[in-house]
Amino acid sequence: MPILVTGAAGFIGFHLCLRLLKNHHEVVGVDNLNDYYDIALKKARLALLESHSGFRFYKVDIANAEALTSVFEHHDITEVVNLAAQAGVRYSIENPDSYIDANVTGFLNILKASTAHQVKHVVYASSSSVYGANTKQPLTETDHTDHPLAIYPASKKMNELMAHAYASLYQLPCTGLRYFTVYGPWGRPDMALFKFTKAILASEPIDVYNNGEMVRDFTYVDDIVEGTIRALKHPAQPDPNWNSDTPNPAASYAPYRIYNIGNGNPTPLMDYIKALEEALGKKATLNMMPMQQGDIPTTAADTKLLEHDLGYKPAINVTEGVKRFVEWYQDYFSDNTN
């Protein structure tokens, strides 16, 4: 049966679709191809996916309930991976309305259609940014997530709450994945690695926030995809040990689960930049900046639950991952106008 992947022309969605197709799954892809960043990059990803006979694409905005329902009606979809979202913590500070449309209304439409068409499992992208003002590290799924620092993480927290409501009301199995700082080939131009690479090659300075005193659990996209597929293969089940007196936020009496997907090896930003300099064979000019509003200094993922339940631990280190990105970047832009 076909798997529905929303955000199919996006960074993670593209990689997930490609892996599913290579594993001989039929994939129905949905994306609205918005202009948040370069549409040419999205179309290039899409062209690769459409070269596979098992891929069917619909240009649909998940905030449009009628159009989304039509996709469900044309295909016997049994599994959904919702990766469609308006991304970006910083962008959400200036453009909050778009996050409600795409991330909240759109996800509600996914849940409604999945319930109506008896989907067996909904997997959806949450974000490490839901941990917000928390300072305890590493971040675990049982930590509270009640203090978001911008509308983007607030919308992702809302996704988790909505998923639980549908899991409880309709026994719809829902699994939320808190992704930690994803990077790799075909990445988004608004993300640090892409911007840094472009600037260094052009001999332009790169903006380094919080004077470089940042730590991120950089996670290579292939590890994200593998964790997502493993989650997809294990539909959420009610936790028989869940206790309403001491509720576990990562599980439930309903078919509901939350997992961190991070590398588990947090890397100082300056080490990340050093890995990029080595891959490019060129030094960066650093423009040290203060901390940006809505940002947090450190993210470190506790992945024990992912390892225990799904038998997976991300493995690709920053040196190798950055090298692979640079190889893709140089190859892609040797054939395309920058």
> What pLDDT was estimated at residue 267?
95
* CA proximity to 257, closest of 280, 234, 288: 234
CB-count exposure of residue 53 (10 Å: 0-12, 13-18, 19+) = exposed
Helix then strand count (H, E) for the chain reads 12, 13
Q: What is the pLDDT of residues 153-166, one digit of tens each?
A: 999 999 999 999 99
Our count of domains for the chain comes to: 1
Helix, strand or coil, per DSSP, at residue 49:
helix
Cα separation, 122 vs 251, in Å, equals: 15
Q: What is the pLDDT of residues 226-271, one digit of tens each?
A: 999 999 999 999 999 999 999 999 999 999 999 999 999 999 999 9
In a domain, 213, yes or no: no
Structure confidence at residue 144 (pLDDT)? 93
Which residue type occupies 213? Answer: E
37-70 pLDDT, tens digit per residue, is 889 999 999 999 999 999 999 999 999 999 999 9
Could you tell me if residue 8 is inside a domain? yes
Q: Is there a catalytic annotation at residue 152? A: yes
Q: Would you report the helix, strand and coil content of the chain in percent, each value rounded to 5?
A: 45, 15, 40
Query: Is residue 66 in some structural domain?
Result: yes
pTM metric for this prediction = 0.95
In a domain, residue 192? The reply is no
Q: Measuring CA to CA, how many Å separate 22 from each of 202, 230, 276? A: 36, 15, 30
d(CA 264, CA 127): 15
- Is the separation of the CB atoms in 184 and 221 below 8 Å? yes
Domain assignment of residue 214, yes or no: no
Domain presence at residue 294: no
Q: What residue numbers bound the domain in which 94 lies?
A: 3-187+219-264+300-315
Active-site option among 36, 37, 99, 152: 152
The answer to whether residue 40 sits within a structural domain is yes
Instruction: Look up the CATH number of the domain holding residue 41.
Output: 3.40.50.720
Quick check: is 129 in a domain? yes
C-beta separation of 261 from 223 below 8 A: yes
Quote the pLDDT of residue 36: 82
